[in-house]
Structure 1
Amino acid sequence: MRTLRRVTAQLRADTVRATPPPAPMVREVTGWIVPPPDQLTDTDRVTLQKISDPCPEIAATVELTRQLAEMLVNLRGKDLRRDWDAVKAGLTLPYNSGPVEGNVNRSKMIKKDVRPRPP
């Protein structure tokens, strides 16, 4: 019986693999994509690179999201071509639909009988 225990313990020890680190949270990854790359720590930059290198779609998404964020920050609506008038107005005028969206969200929460948390 001891021999069997010893052999199975050795087999378990030989087959144990290190657990990979947990996948980053979506908000974490978003926090690495939106700011300019020079504002990221080296660790965050490398981690984002590891995520985007194997998948060209993710790499393209990162690049396009960064370009859009830069346009929004600098109000450069003229850089977009499709839906020119609407895009230009949305990126250059000081108006936004934030208050309307807040009311819509509150209405939906009331319908669901879910109370929003106080700020």
Structure 2
Amino acid sequence: MAGLRTGTVEPARGAIPNPRKITKWIMLPRGTLRPHAEDQLLRVRLACPDIARACDLARTFRDLLQHRRGHQLEWVREAERDAPAPILSFAQNLCLDLDAVTAGLTLSWSSGIVEGHVNRINTIKRAMYGRASFRLLRTRILLRA
């Protein structure tokens, strides 16, 4: 206690939340966090400027995704200026095919249904590998559709 009073000893820090919990707090929509979690996130943001910047960028990108605002992808330029390394890497990968990313964030079309069918067919194929003929595979795929 004497060291704390004189200022020669650093006060003990509270328990640091794990990264998964911090990520959950960041990705939840604003206003849905409980007051206790909101206070903890604020403390984490104040303690680490990189987490604060990552939090701001992640929430902005989440809003772009949720509201299909692909035309507002200046987010990438903002992230390239002063983002922490993982977000910087993500932004640079988005730049590799920015037209496709913009279209994906803007248009309502998706290849998700086709990808689901391809996944289903590949699962059936793997289960039958080396056990049956192509004719049986074709029949199983067509009957399952």
Kindly, what percent of the aligned residue pairs are identical? 34
Q: Is the 8 A contact 1:90 1:96 kept in 2?
A: no
Question: Is the aligned partner of 1:91 residue 2:105?
Answer: yes
After superposition, residues 2-81 of structure 1 pair within 5 angstroms as 20-21=14-15, 23-81=16-74
Structure 1: state its 5+ residue gaps: 1-17, 104-119
Compute the displacement of 1:88 (Å). 1.0
Of structures 1 and 2, the one with the larger relative CO (CA 8 A, separation 6+) is: 2
Compute the displacement of 1:30 (Å). 1.3
- Of stretches 89-98 and 48-57 in structure 1, the one that deviates more from structure 2 is 89-98
Whole-Å separation in 2 of the counterparts to 1:57 and 1:77? 25
CA root-mean-square deviation: 3.2
The one-letter code sitting in structure 1 at the alignment partner of 2:104 is G
After superposition, residues 105-116 of structure 1 pair within 5 angstroms as none
Compute the displacement of 1:52 (Å). 1.0
Structure 1 length as normaliser, TM-score? 0.57
Structure 2: state its 5+ residue gaps: 1-11, 77-94, 120-145
Whole-Å separation in 2 of the counterparts to 1:96 and 1:54? 42
Whole-Å separation in 2 of the counterparts to 1:79 and 1:19? 40
Please list the CA deviations of residues 54-93 of structure 1 after superposition, one character each: whole Å capped at 9, or x if unmatched.
2221111000000001111111111104544222112123
Aligned in 2, Cα 1:50/1:39: closer, same or farther, shift over 3 Å? same
Length, aligned pairs only:
87
Aligned-partner SS, 2:53: helix
